[in-house]
A and B are shown apart, each in its own frame.
Chain A
């Protein structure tokens, strides 16, 4: 009995990966059987067959054979990257400046708190009526979804900079610019990257929402079209694509996070 327990709880690679693969196979089998037991207009299986178009074959068709779909994917990635990049570019410096200037922080804090907890999706009708249907209003939606988690985490990080380190910088006659590069940015970076990881998921929601509610485009449009045609395999395939994007972005952010928090060492 204890041997079985030890095996189950062992940290060994083979046990861990075996568990992951087994769990995924069970999930896939469940999906497959649910897919087969419903009408194809309600639910599509993973692999499928006659009368039950599968999600994986559809995904393959989309990515490999469908020029238009690839364009949609590109559109979405463009929208996401633009909004996300702008969010990073604006939120990080603002976060650090706010940590350095107490007055500015006090002035803006309540707005940030309010906007941080406001479901951004509720602002979409406003953005629509004020800015219309272009590319840039959609970018704004993605921007708003991503901006606040990054700002919030950056601010928290920059505020928690050890006063001892600022004292050292002062003692060594550092300029403010040098303080940013030697102390504030390196110290804040791990916090910012945590914010970026959180923001990636939210920005993805923003991307799909923007493509739904403003001029439909990209993966959002693919999703709506497939759903109108009761093409559940298409819907699920697109959802997998979006999920894939999300996982990719988060992995990238995580890799950066690990790289730039290495100095925290064992004291993490």
Chain B
């Protein structure tokens, strides 16, 4: 990607774009179905926390609660001390389904949040190209989503979230819908961007490798209803790149998480519900 690592954005990486999030014994129920319960988590400033668990464990639901898209049934979520009830400024989400507006161009999609936030045309014209460049979509400003590959669509979704200059970035299995090679490229791209613009990132994934590669800490969800089974400090050297995948600690952690989740994954596979 042809992005100058020292590029100066509309806001530089030094401004306080990170937040502290507290999750106090929250639970989520749909009628009789308890999705998760008694979850306590703290997220620090400029920290990447990955949440991993078998499919159906409610990790995506948890993320939607943190974004304020879904109400919690028990407990409370606070961001910078403020109770989270509805989507708030400074928190942006990247969706597994990309969620691009098919009738908007890349430029309009990336500028979507800014426009809603009341940014002026001039401001949008200044910021949007910067973020399009940041995610490596130069030259595709006026393309429509259907003209882009899955990977490029998610780059656009990422740029749309980053353009809000959030202090919290929520990633909902962002690379689950792209092919394996693209996925690897996007993982390192995201880490590179995070290095330039560090913020609190909560990254939900069902891929154990991805969780270990991306996270400063890995939260393992387990059980039905699920709750936090383990929180692992990853402690892999920075910057994380392809060589990280060959690091002994990486394999060790991957095997550890795999061992933890194996029973659950097997159970989920044979769960006909």
Contacts and interface: CB of A to CB of B under 8 A. Distances in A.
A183 B103 CA distance: 9
A165 B146 CA distance: 15
Contacts of A263: 102-103, 144-146
Interface in B64-99: 67, 69, 87-89, 92-93, 95, 97, 99
B99 A174 contact: no
Contacts of A178: 116
Nearest to B102: A263
Interface string A167-194: 1101111110010001100110000000
A183 B109 CA distance: 12
Contact of B87 (A171, A175, A183, A267): A171
A3 interface: no
Given A171-B69, A265-B144, A265-B147, A182 B102 contact: no
Contacts of B104: 182
Interface string B29-55: 000000000000000000000000000
Contacts of A172: 87, 92, 112-113, 116, 164
A173 B95 CA distance: 15
Contacts of A164: 95, 97, 99
A265 B102 contact: yes
A172 B88 CA distance: 8
A47 to B, nearest CB: 49
Contacts, number: 54
B101 interface: yes
A258 to B, nearest CB: 14
A186 B103 contact: yes
A167 B154 CA distance: 16
Interface residues of B, number: 23
B142 to A, nearest CB: 13
A267 B144 CA distance: 12
B26 to A, nearest CB: 19
Interface in B93-135: 93, 95, 97, 99, 101-104, 112-113, 116-117
Given A167-B69, A182-B112, A267 B146 contact: yes
Interface in A175-221: 175, 178, 182-183, 186-187
Secondary structure dominating the interface of B: loop
Contacts of B116: 172-175, 178, 182
A172 B166 CA distance: 11
A190 to B, nearest CB: 9
A228 interface: no
Nearest to A168: B99
Nearest to B109: A168
B146 A265 contact: yes
Interface string A251-268: 000000000001111110
A170 B112 contact: no
Contact of A186 (B97, B99, B101, B113): B101
Nearest to A166: B99
B144 A173 contact: no
A267 B113 CA distance: 26
A174 B97 CA distance: 19
A165 B99 contact: yes
Contacts of A173: 87-89, 116-117
A103 B67 CA distance: 28
A180 B117 CA distance: 16
A54 B112 CA distance: 61
Contact of B93 (A171, A186, A266): A171
Given A178-B116, A264-B102, A168 B87 contact: no
A266 B149 CA distance: 12
Contacts of A266: 146
B123 to A, nearest CB: 16
A110 B237 CA distance: 65
Contacts of B144: 262-263, 265
Interface of B: 67, 69, 87-89, 92-93, 95, 97, 99, 101-104, 112-113, 116-117, 144-147, 164
Given A164-B97, A187-B103, 20 more contacts: A165-B99, A168-B99, A168-B101, A171-B69, A171-B87, A171-B92, A171-B93, A172-B113, A172-B116, A173-B87, A178-B116, A182-B104, A182-B112, A183-B101, A263-B102, A263-B145, A263-B146, A264-B146, A265-B146, A265-B147
Q: Which 8 A-B pairs have the closest CB atoms?
A: A265-B146, A168-B99, A263-B103, A186-B103, A263-B102, A172-B113, A164-B97, A171-B93
23 contacts: A164-B97, A164-B99, A167-B95, A167-B99, A168-B99, A170-B69, A171-B67, A171-B93, A172-B87, A172-B92, A172-B113, A173-B88, A173-B117, A174-B116, A175-B116, A178-B116, A186-B103, A262-B144, A263-B145, A263-B146, A264-B102, A265-B102, A266-B146
Interface of A: 164-165, 167-168, 170-175, 178, 182-183, 186-187, 262-267
